[in-house]
Every structure is written in C-alpha cells, then in structure tokens.
Structure 1
C-alpha cells in the first residue's frame, strides 16, 4: 500500500493553556515497529485525561476542579503533571480513543490485520508481565495517540470490531466505558445493588449507568437538571439534581430507601462527604475521577464504624477492553455521541468539553 510520508497532527508542546496545542499538516507519518500496527485514524474520542495532561492538573500542586487552567498553579520544576505522577516528553500527540483501519503491520505481526477496522486499548503494557500495574503507560500520554491521521501501537492493543456504528460513535467507548467497567468490577457490583452515580451525564457517568444495568443493578443518577431528559433515556431508577441539599430525603422519595450499596464517583469535590453518608453499612465506594476537585474531607469514623470499602480504579486488566468490544458488538451498550469536530478544530472541541454542557462524549473526526 502506498502510504503518505506526511500527515495532519495536533501536537502538544508542553503543559499550559490551549496555546500549547499546535496544528501541523506536515508531521511525519509514524513507521510501525516489529510488533506494531499502523492505523489510519477515522475518529478519536476526547477525555478528561487530554485536558488534565495538557494543563498539568494531575500535579499535587493543583487542588482545583478540572477546568483546563491548572497550568497556572504548576511551576516549571514540577515533575508530576501526568496521570502516572511522572513527567512526559514533548512534543506529544494526545488522544486515547482512536478508531480506524489497520493499513500496515510490523514484521512480526499477522498481515491479516491489514484492512480491519479496530479499536485501540488505551493501556500500554509490558506484554511479558501484563498484569503489573507498575509497568503501564497510556496511549496519547506515554506515547503518541490518535489526534493525527495515522498512529502506531502494539498489535496486542488493537481489537477488530464488527459494528454498524460510525467511527465517531465507536470513539466514545474505549476510555470512558473501560473506566466505568473497571470501577464496577473493583466495587463488585452485582444484581441487587443500588449504585449512586455522580457526574452521570459525562462519558464515564453515562457508561456507568449502562454497565451497571448490564450487571443487573439499579442506578440513581446525579446530574444538572438541564441534562435529566438525556439521562432518563438510559432508564435509571431515578435522576436527581447534581447536589441535592437533602440527599437522604431525595433518595427516600425517589426509590423508597435513604441508602445505597455502591457509590460510583467521578466528581469528588465538596459533595464527597454527602455521598459517603448515604452508603449503607458495608457499602462500597469506587472512584476514578475528581472533576469538581481532588481534595476532600473524610470523617474516618464513618469509614470504619460503617465497615465501608473504598477502591480507586485506574489501571485495568487486559480482559476489560476485550469484554467491552464484545458488549459493543452484542448491542449491550450504546454510544452517546454529543458532538464531533474536525481535527483542525480540536481547541474548540476542548473548550466545549471543559464547559460540560453536553451529555455523553465528544469525538474528533479525521476521515
């Protein structure tokens, strides 16, 4: 196949505001290594990781909510502004949720992958030790990602997908839905659980609703009232305002009980203590985000006297992504594509993403 030597790419040049994103039309097309595939990107989803890495929000120097402006709090000498707590190298092409066609493979990869439409697993692994969380990286963070016409990745990070969904729709799944599935797995959610979901209108939140239902659990969602109709279409047991003053009373009125067995939280912030207080004795709290602020107050008496279990969820076992592709192909989950933008409008897409006026996710479309 005759492949171009140059491509379009949006390149992150450092931590900062939108000015550190540079659009190029003559970036070199990557060449796959012996165990890699070259993917012609059709679409790539946008996630909080893109904003947080660009702005340096992951640094311990930052205490504010996710706004895209954290760079003003991060000094030049800070070495912890990425998800893994280490510095990343620049220039870097971001974008974790890439979907596209395999157009070339390395010498040790089965050529039958060429021509197949694939989704990319965001988690980079040591494939000789794939369950070791200390040996992981993230696609679009520790290596170049999908905000470009072409990208390369280890062949074990791609999975062919058979689906009538568009590339943009498929690009809403990988990060958000695998994150949600990981949270529910860590919290051991099963039939009979009631799951309280914060930030229910976002990519992870809407995934948590669907994947909880797939496990037989019922869901109660917290979200801004402007988005209630969108969330109601996913058929939760109840949709409540984002921060009810009397959460116990609101739960009692909505579902006939004032406690839940699981809280799945991606928001954090000042409301953290309130959602912890509605956990039943022996309840489970699982977290994979803090968009309203990473620093919270916890009364340890609540934690230990009520026998609560807290789990953080970031790095996932490899089967989670493979399972997710199966859920997509069987129709067990559906995409919530709020908007799509062409690559050259990526900064505008990031502005829209940070504004959080959408339900579901936003994708960058490249072909």
Structure 2
C-alpha cells in the first residue's frame, strides 16, 4: 500500500498563546537523500514547545526578543521534538532494512558530525517536527528500538526530557554513591533526572511540592524536599556532608541559596530557568571550594546513544501523565503549562 499524499498536522504560523496552534492538511514530506520518513505513533510535549510557540527564548543581544530555540522561526512550523513511530520510507543512500522498524528520533540538529557535537537546533523549532502523521529525519538520528519492552508512548518521552537529563548527568560527571539534588523533580526532565540518577547508583534528593511529592518518591527519589519550605535547611538535614552534584532546571534564587550546599569540588549543572534567568550569587562560594557551574543544553550524539541503550534494556520506566489526540494539541499544551502533573504528556497522531 502506498503512502498518502497529504497528512494532518498541527502547526503555528506566528508566536502567541495556545490559540496559534492550527490544524492543517499538508503534503506528506518526501525523505531527501540520507533521510527517512517516520510514521508518527506518539509525540511527547516539552516546555520547549511552549517557549518556542511563545517565542520566549530571547536572543543574546536582546533577551526580550521573540525567538525560537536558536533564533527566528520560519513559519509555518510544525511543532514537536519527541517522536516514536515506524519507518515508512527511506531516501536515497539509506539502508532499506530500516523500513518497518520501530524507532525513536534524536531531535537535535548538531553543529558537526562528531560524537560530542553540540546541538544548535531542534526538530519542531528549526525544522518541522512530530505534531503530524509523518515526519522526516536524518537516518543517522533514527534509532532502532524494535526490541525495547517500552511502549511507544514511553519511547516518545525519551528524546528531549531524558536526553537533556542524561546530558546533565554526563556533563556533571555523576558517579555511583554520590549525593545528587534534583530541582523541578515532578516535570518531564525532573522525573528523568530522578530515574537516571537512581539507575546510576546515586543517592537522590528531589525538590517537589504538594500532591506531587509522593509521585516523585515513587519515581525513585530517596528523599523528597518540599519546595514550599526553606530548601537549604532541608538539604542540610538530609545531606549534612553536602551535595556532590545539583541537577537544576529551575535556576533563579535556587542558585544563590544553594551554592553553599555543595561539597568541595561539587558540580552545579543548569539546563533550565523555570525560576528565572536572572541569577546573582557569591562568587567566593564557587572558586574557594573548586565548585563548577556547568551549562547543559540537551545532549550529544554519544549521550543519546547511551540513552537508547538504556531504553532497549528498559533500565527505567518513563512516566506518562496523560495522552491527547493530535487535534487537542492546544489543550495538551495548556495542561503542560499548568504543571499540575507528574511525568510527560503525549499526543497521538
């Protein structure tokens, strides 16, 4: 049976609120040489979707400018970085053995072909993504997970959240037996950090609040600290010898309050700014204790390969909070923005 000529998609034609997500009937993309066409089984949502839609990333010369992840967007744009599905067609120079295989897509656009390349673009922002029935991707970024026990929904949660989490853990050089503090632990990246740090053999302290505390504990945290109470005192009580690594997606005031909690040679890894991007701290806490403040944007190809290996073994169980049909992408994004869930939200094209 041949492929359809058109497909359903949800796309944005301008920056704005959830209302700018519009249904569209568009041509099924044709895989170019070196690319494959993936029939989307599931696509997970990320904060990146919200920030890209809103144009909230700013630019180096103008923090308030409307911008996608790495600059101005080309509209219309189909959102969605996190895709699992099956290979429906291959372009020239691509192994036909991939046809029909269950895959997960690395959504990063890298600055080079090397194993430690840096992501400088993202599917759903700098190229069309998975809020659609089909999406194209470079063949080298498509990973065969046919034998993974994880469901399609679980696999879709991996690329951005778990890729970002593993990038943070690798850049922070987290080792077995160390004590780690995870901020924003109920979100997609937060749950991924808890699960991956636990799988590495670390002692995991996580920050959450309210009804989500128990779910974060179930995800694998050894202790959960209540965000509604003063954090530093809770950390000192739970880890009197200090924290080896902080895995932080919140930033803001947490950085200035938390730096003194690091042990000698501690590492503070930042991959988000949910608490605010303006940060002030006592720089003496950094240099007098050989601490390191590390920025981490997503993952490298090497990190993603490690993540896929873990997924093939089902070394962790991604948490799916809710699912929506593709046409309800705006509703799904509204639920994501409320942050009253634990885990990941997934669309079904």
Same fold by TM (over 0.5)?
A: yes
User: Structure 1 residues 116 and 127, CA, compared in 2 at 3 Å: closer, same or farther?
Assistant: farther
* Structure 2 residue ranges without an equivalent (≥5): none
Contact 1:243-1:271 within 8 A present in 2 as well: no
Matched-pair contact (CA < 8 Å) for 2:149–2:314: no
142-151 vs 277-286, which deviates more?
A: 277-286
- Is the partner of 2:219 in helix, strand or coil? coil
Counterpart of 1:225? 210
Q: Does 1:239 align with 2:238?
A: no
Q: Which residue of 1 aligns with 2:27?
A: 28
Query: CA 1:47 to 1:2, structure 2 compared with 1: closer, same or farther past 3 Å?
Result: same
Of the three residues 158, 162, 165, the one matched with 1:173 is 158
What is the distance in 2 between the residues matched to 1:248 and 1:127?
Answer: 41
The question of 1:4 aligning with 2:19 is answered no
Q: Are residues 1:208 and 2:193 paired?
A: yes
Gap runs ≥5 in structure 1: 64-72
Partner SS, residue 100 of structure 2 = coil
Question: For 1:303, which of 286, 311, 314 is the aligned residue?
Answer: 286
Which of 250, 253, 256 is the aligned partner of 2:237? 253
* Residue in structure 1 matching 2:81, options 74, 96, 99: 96
User: What's the CA shift for 1:19?
Assistant: 2.5
Task: Choose the corresponding residue for 1:278, options 249, 261, 264.
Answer: 261
Alignment size in residue pairs: 348
C-alpha distance after superposition, 1:68-110 (max 9, x if no partner): xxxxx95xxx4x61222x2121111110111111010002101
**Deviation sequence 1:299-334 (CA, Å, 0-9, x none):** 112222222101111152212112111111212111
Give, in whole Å, the separation in 2 of the partners of 1:159 and 1:235: 27
Match of 1:136 in 2: 120
Give the alignment partner of residue 69 of structure 2, picking from 67, 74, 83. Answer: 83
2:247 aligned residue (255, 261, 264): 264
Measured against aligned partners, the alpha-carbon deviations of 1:140-198 in whole angstroms (never above 9, x if no partner) come to 11110000000001100100102233221211111111101110111110012100100
CA RMSD of aligned residues (A): 2.0
Query: Partner of 1:53 in structure 2?
Result: 52
Does the residue aligned with 1:285 lie in a helix, a strand or coil? strand
Map of 1:70 onto structure 2: none
Q: 1:205 to 1:146 in 2, by over 3 A?
A: same
| 8 Å CA contact 2:170, 2:303 repeated in 1 | no
Q: Specify the alignment match of 2:303 in structure 1.
A: 320
User: For 2:180, what is the secondary structure of its paired residue?
Assistant: strand
TM-score calculated relative to the size of structure 2: 0.94
Deviation, 1:225, is 2.4
Deviation at 1:272, TM superposition (A): 2.5
After TM superposition, give the deviation of residue 241 of structure 1 in Å. 0.5
- Residues 67-82 of structure 1 aligned to structure 2 (within 5 Å): 74=64, 78=65, 81-82=67-68
SS at match of 1:152: strand
Distance, in Å, in 2 between the alignment partners of 1:223 and 1:47 is 18
Q: Distance in 1 between matches of 2:304 and 2:114?
A: 17
Pair 218,157 (structure 1): closer, same or farther in 2 beyond 3 Å: same
**Match for 2:142 among 154, 158, 162?**
158
Give the superposition deviation at 1:61.
9.2
Task: Identify the residue that residue 114 of structure 1 maps to in structure 2.
Answer: 99
Tell me how far 1:251 sits from its aligned partner: 2.7
Partner of residue 69, structure 1: none
CA 1:15–1:308 in structure 2 vs 1: closer, same or farther (change >3 Å)? Answer: same
